[in-house]
Amino acid sequence: MLLHAVLVPLSTRLARAQRHPAAREALGEVLRASAALAGAPRSLPCEDWPRSASGAPAPVAGWHANFADTTGLAAALVAPVPVGLDVEWLHRPRWQAARERFRESGELALLGADDAPAVLALWTAKEALLKLAGVGLADLGRCRLLARDGERYRLEHRARVHEVCVRANGQHLLACASSAPAELVLHALELVT
């Protein structure tokens, strides 16, 4: 199965308070593009995707959505299986705290590097998996790296093993976790302003 993540660039000059509204403004079009690539029905509510009580995107007619944004990028994914998606800017400040956390847990040794790209890739993989599980960062301590093979990260969460794909895209990392084996395809979307 192919999973079609659609990416839209945002200005890196936007403050966080401005970035979030800019990403939400683009969300409908980005979800619609991913849905079309996935072969989903046109009737899906891409402009206003419903949310569950926890705030996560709710399934609609057997289709699942997830979205994320960071400095310079917003991304969305619509799929026929549950998915978790996360993006991270490679120039994120304060990534060293995550490095120390991973060093203390022994996971840093499995990465084979301790620089910002390696640490942020693991962080992004974990966040995508926790979004798939519907639990968020509160469960970060229960999510552990088992192995890494290129862009594939094997993570354990609540006694289950999952594979998460992490892909570099320019100045960003994108991670995707899904409930079924899948190949991730990235698509860029330029919005007309």
Which structural domain, as residue segments, surrounds residue 23? 2-188
Give Dmax over CA atoms of the chain in angstroms. Answer: 48
Q: Is the dihedral of CA 132, 50, 47, 78 positive or negative?
A: positive
pTM equals: 0.93
Asked, for residue 111, whether it belongs to a domain, the answer is yes
Asked, for residue 92, whether it belongs to a domain, the answer is yes
CATH number at residue 140: 3.90.470.20
- 84-138 pLDDT, tens digit per residue, is 999 999 998 889 999 999 999 999 999 989 999 999 999 999 999 999 998 888 8
Asked, for residue 71, whether it belongs to a domain, the answer is yes
Total domains in the chain come to 1
Asked, for residue 171, whether it belongs to a domain, the answer is yes
Asked, for residue 105, whether it belongs to a domain, the answer is yes
Asked, for residue 180, whether it belongs to a domain, the answer is yes
- 22-40 pLDDT, tens digit per residue, is 888 899 999 999 999 999 9
Alpha helical stretches, state H, 39-180 = 96-105, 107-111, 116-133
Phi first, then psi, for residue 17 (nearest 5°) are -65, -25
Q: At 191, is the pLDDT very low, low, confident or very high (cuts 50, 70, 90)?
A: low
Asked, for residue 127, whether it belongs to a domain, the answer is yes
Asked, for residue 193, whether it belongs to a domain, the answer is no
The torsion defined by the Cα of 55, 79, 186 and 57, in degrees rounded to 10, comes to: -10
- 40-92 pLDDT, tens digit per residue, is 999 999 999 999 988 899 999 999 999 999 999 999 999 999 999 999 999 98
CA geometry: angle at 90 spanning 86 and 95, to 5°?
Answer: 90
